[in-house]
Amino acid sequence: MLNRTLNEQDAIYSTLKARGVWKGPNLPFVVLLSAELAELSPELNWQRTSDLEQYLIGNGVPYKRVLGKYHGETEKSFAVVLDGDVTKREEQLDELLQLAEQFEQDSVLLLDRYRIATLLYPDGRRNETIGTFRVASKHDALKLGDYTYDVDNDLYFIVQ
């Protein structure tokens, strides 16, 4: 079902761009995921994060480390850039969902090329589009409660 959705999105955006109707950005798809669990010790979470990072490095997956706050818990996370080719992207996405399940994650956040944010559930629950991922002030991010923080660039992102 997810693969069909990604293919449909690409087809719609490509058609609109070809007709000159849509001139929006052409950003890469990104998945935000973590290996941490709130109920585990900092040492165990450190090990899980290290294991996930080693997997990403070992498989040549481009990523950026970020901090995420989700349901009141701050966790080290990864922003994984997906391939531009639809077939490869779908394979990567399936692989990341398997990793999320392995690390007992409730969900991962998929950002499409227009930064539409969709929660994907590894346990098979229906995917949930929750808004648009955008830059926010620190004040607005902290007020909202759930956010992504890019430490390197001192940028906060929220979904609205």
pLDDT digits (tens, 9 = 90+) for 68-107: 998 899 999 999 999 888 889 999 999 999 999 999 999 9
pLDDT digits (tens, 9 = 90+) for 131-155: 999 999 999 999 999 999 999 999 9
Q: Smallest Cα–Cα separation from 155: which of 31, 66, 53?
A: 66
Residue 57 parent element (H or E): helix 42-58
Amino acid at the residue 84: G
Structure tokens at 152: 């390197």
Coil, helix or strand for 59? coil
Coil, helix or strand for 29? coil
The whole-chain average pLDDT of the chain stands at: 89
* The pTM of the whole model exceeds 0.85: no
Q: Smallest Cα–Cα separation from 37: which of 128, 124, 106, 118?
A: 106
Q: Where are the domains of the chain?
A: 2-10+26-159
- Mean pLDDT score, 18-26: 58
Four-residue CA torsion sign, 71, 89, 104, 120: positive
Give strand ranges (E) for the chain: 30-34, 63-70, 73-81, 108-111, 116-120, 128-136, 147-150, 155-159
